[in-house]
Amino acid sequence: MARSPWVPPAYHPGELDRALLPLCGPEPLLPPLGVNPEPLLARAVELDVFPLVFHRLRRSPHWLHGCVSPAWEERFRSNAARNLLLDTEQERILRSLRAAGVGAFPLKGTRLAARLYADLALRAQVDVDLYVAPEQLPAALGALEADGYRRLTAVGLPAERLAATGDEFTSECSLEKLGQPMPILVELHWRLLPLPAKDLLSAGEKGGLPEELDFLYLCVQASADRWGTLKTLVDLAHWVRRQPPDWDKLAAAAERLGRARVLSVTLQVLLHYFDLQIPEWVPARLAPAVSQALPRAAVANPFVPAPPLSPAATHRLRSALQERRRDRVRYAAFLLRPTASDLAALPLPRALGFLYWGVRWLRLAGVLNAGDEREPALAGVRG
Amino acid sequence: MSLAGKVRAARDVVFRELGGEMVLLNLKTGVYYGLNETGAQMWSLLVELHDPAQVVSALAGEYAAERAHLERDLKALVTALREKGLLDVEEA
């Protein structure tokens, strides 16, 4: 496959990671006899791939029963029970939102686990992620709050204002249901990919994105973590191997939405770690989108925790991932718009809403403290 | 307890085959339980037939085990599930 200038960082895995990576792949290879399962499982927990690794080891012929702590078995079962709870709650919430006239659909989560692994127990999950159209965010929040959920973010911010903020990386509102034996977290998202609202609304009514957009969404999620989250790479590798996407449709969608760069890097990263069959013409077709170099820190190593990027570096990277000039301009304009954090920090009457633009720009310039907002300000950042 | 009563999955209990075992979860209490293949079969028959005595007969037709042995195992399972609030039992 043709390589772009953006190659994943040098990968010099230790013994544990050399055993772990093939065990997570879509065609799992068992570790050699003699590898101690205890540290291997602990490493799988660190990398958030424990359920898949434990399940595969347990079923392997040389897994020695009784040689590992029973706590692993309990951890696996606890994850399975939690996913069952989240799946049940997700279906209940979707029914409740439909009754409120909101067309929502799940992102990732148990639906992805069922699709890729045919078993909810094999993927770790902490919350229920749902997409709702921005126009329907107020109704969705109203329905969830009536159901006992309380906002953890954007508390007190009118939903109509919240719906006007965020981009595909930052449009999210977290809610928690209290008084449950296991706390349930829900995250609502209202922007995905640069898709027109009517397309997303229509996807909501149909219960989900078309397959190629769903795959592309997961690629964008991988890029948000600089391809440094092993769990996401494992998901994508299973998808490519077990249910190969319609490559022509996928490439066309990526080109149409200005995400060919993200798709191209994702496929290169996947090929770096996994043995996958991707038709030669796919990277060749995407090559024009990757002719320009990405910042050196663009792609992280999933086995070595990287320090978080500075806010400026994050923005530079996200801007560099926009392959079209108009998307880069749109991203720059987005940075100047008030964020949910700006709105929540200083409640102002609607008539004074224009002042939020000043707050945003002062925050960007570093004059005001950016606080702990998810969309980092450029304050105090060296180039 | 005897096997003469009627049983049913407790209200708010969901169950599904996950990770090679049957996982039972009480949504209200958060209590969960994993059943191996034999336990899963007993559970499926209990929620289908509601009658432990019939479950023993069904199992006896499938396993080459003594009826008394099956009864003892089923009683132990029913007792455990009842104590965990996963199974309701109406004593006869």
- Cβ contacts of B89 within 8 Å, gap of 6 or more: B1, B5, B6, B7, B78, B82
Task: Give the start-end residues of each E strand in A200-337.
Answer: none
Cβ contact A59–B16 (<8 Å)? no
Q: Give the pLDDT of residue A12.
A: 72
B6 touches chain A (CB under 8 A): no
Identify whether the C-beta of residue A53 lies closer than 8 Å to the C-beta of residue A41: yes
Which amino acid does the sequence have at A155?
V
Tokens, residue A337: 């718009």
- Cβ contacts of A232 within 8 Å, gap of 6 or more: A218, A221, A222, A225
Which of B18, B29, B34 comes nearest A119 by C-beta?
B18
Task: Give the start-end residues of each E strand in B27-86.
Answer: 32-35
CA distance A144 to chain B (A): 18
Give the dihedral sign, CA A139/A157/A168/A217: negative
Secondary structure (3-state) at A160: helix
Q: Which of B14, B15, B24, B32 to mutate to test the interface with A (most CBs of A within 10 A)?
A: B32
Q: Give the pLDDT of residue A1.
A: 45
Identify whether the C-beta of residue A133 lies closer than 8 Å to the C-beta of residue A204: yes
Q: Give the pLDDT of residue A9.
A: 64
Q: What is the mean pLDDT of each run of 10 residues along chain A (383 residues)?
A: 53 84 91 84 96 91 73 95 96 95 91 93 95 93 95 88 86 89 92 83 80 94 92 98 96 94 93 93 87 75 83 82 86 82 75 79 64 36 26
Cβ contact B23–A84 (<8 Å)? yes
Which of B14, B19, B32 comes nearest A88 by C-beta?
B14
Identify whether the C-beta of residue A132 lies closer than 8 Å to the C-beta of residue A299: no
Q: Give the pLDDT of residue A358.
A: 80
B49 touches chain A (CB under 8 A): no
Instruction: Identify all chain B residues contacting A183, using CB atoms and an 8 Å cutoff.
Output: none
Q: Give the pLDDT of residue A249.
A: 97
Instruction: Identify all chain A residues contacting B34, using CB atoms and an 8 Å cutoff.
Output: 77, 80
d(CA A106, CA A102): 13
CA distance A119 to chain B (A): 6
Cβ contact B19–A181 (<8 Å)? no
The string of DSSP letters for A314-354 reads: HHHHHHHT--SHHHHHHHHHHHHSPPHHHHHHS---GGGTT
Nearest CA in chain B to A77: B34
Count CB neighbours of A128 within 10 A.
24
Q: Give the pLDDT of residue A66.
A: 66
Rounded to whole angstroms, the maximal C-alpha distance in chain B is 38
Which of A84, A180, A182 comes nearest B16 by C-beta?
A84
Cβ contact B20–A120 (<8 Å)? no
Q: Give the pLDDT of residue A11.
A: 67
Identify whether the C-beta of residue A87 lies closer than 8 Å to the C-beta of residue B31: no
In this prediction the ipTM stands at 0.91
Tokens, residue A187: 């995250």
- Cβ contacts of B47 within 8 Å, gap of 6 or more: B8, B9, B15
Secondary structure (3-state) at A86: helix
Residue B20 pLDDT exceeds 80: yes
CA distance A318 to chain B (A): 38
Closest CA to A166 of A376, A337, A349: A337
Cβ contact A181–B30 (<8 Å)? yes
Instruction: Identify all chain A residues contacting B27, using CB atoms and an 8 Å cutoff.
Output: 85, 88, 181
Interface A-B: count of C-beta contacts within 8 A = 48
Which of A120, A180, A182 comes nearest B18 by C-beta?
A120
Instruction: Identify all chain A residues contacting B16, using CB atoms and an 8 Å cutoff.
Output: 84, 120
Cα A375 → chain centroid: 15
Q: Give the pLDDT of residue B72.
A: 94
- Cβ contacts of A123 within 8 Å, gap of 6 or more: A51, A52, A83, A110, A112, A113, A116, A117, A231, A235
Q: Which own/partner contact pairs does A371-375 have at CB distance under 8 Å and 24+ positions apart?
A: A371/A341, A371/A345, A372/A341, A373/A339, A373/A340, A373/A341, A373/A342, A374/A170, A374/A172, A374/A339, A374/A341, A375/A166, A375/A170, A375/A335, A375/A339, A375/A341
